[in-house]
Amino acid sequence: MSIAIPDACTLPTAERPLRLAEFDALFATAVRRADRVGPTRARLRLTGPAGLGATVRDLTARETACCSFFTFTVTPEPGAEGEALILDVEVPAQYADVLASLTDRAGTIAEGRRS
């Protein structure tokens, strides 16, 4: 399961596996659902312990710094325990394949945890 990394990404090649591992850990522990809302927009529903929102904001801010084509919006939701949030991800049309691979990866990893 690979993810498309466009030339526009400025993260040094040596750091990319570490960043991918951070996203994979988030997908494995917090993603409850990953949906493509359209070709250029995805929505991930996450739940986790207190501090999840700060973790997601930190990771997405660092990702936007090297891949400026991503727009991440974090919206808190009511949760019974810990934190619940929605992570909306948008990209320009030319990066729809990157978004599709990210969304598919999130869904596959999250589904594997529930199996």
Lowest mean pLDDT among 7-11, 20-24, 44-48, 83-87: 7-11
What pLDDT is stored for residue 113 in this prediction?
Answer: 63
Reported as a single tens digit per residue, the pLDDT across 45-72 is 999 999 999 999 999 999 999 999 999 9
Distance (Å, whole) CA 3 – CA 58: 21
Residue 98 has pLDDT above 60, yes or no: yes
Q: Report residue 38's pLDDT band, with 50, 70 and 90 as the boundaries.
A: very high
Candidates 91, 109, 82, 114; CA nearest to 20 is: 109
User: pLDDT category, 114, cuts 50, 70, 90?
Assistant: low
CA distance 61 to 59: 5
d(CA 90, CA 69): 8
Residue type, 27: F
Distance from the Cα of residue 22 to its chain's centroid: 10
Gap between the Cα atoms of 19 and 100, Å rounded: 18
pLDDT at 2 (0 to 100): 64
The pLDDT, as a whole number, for residue 74 is 97
Residue-level pLDDT at 1: 57
User: Per-residue pLDDT for 34 more than 90?
Assistant: yes
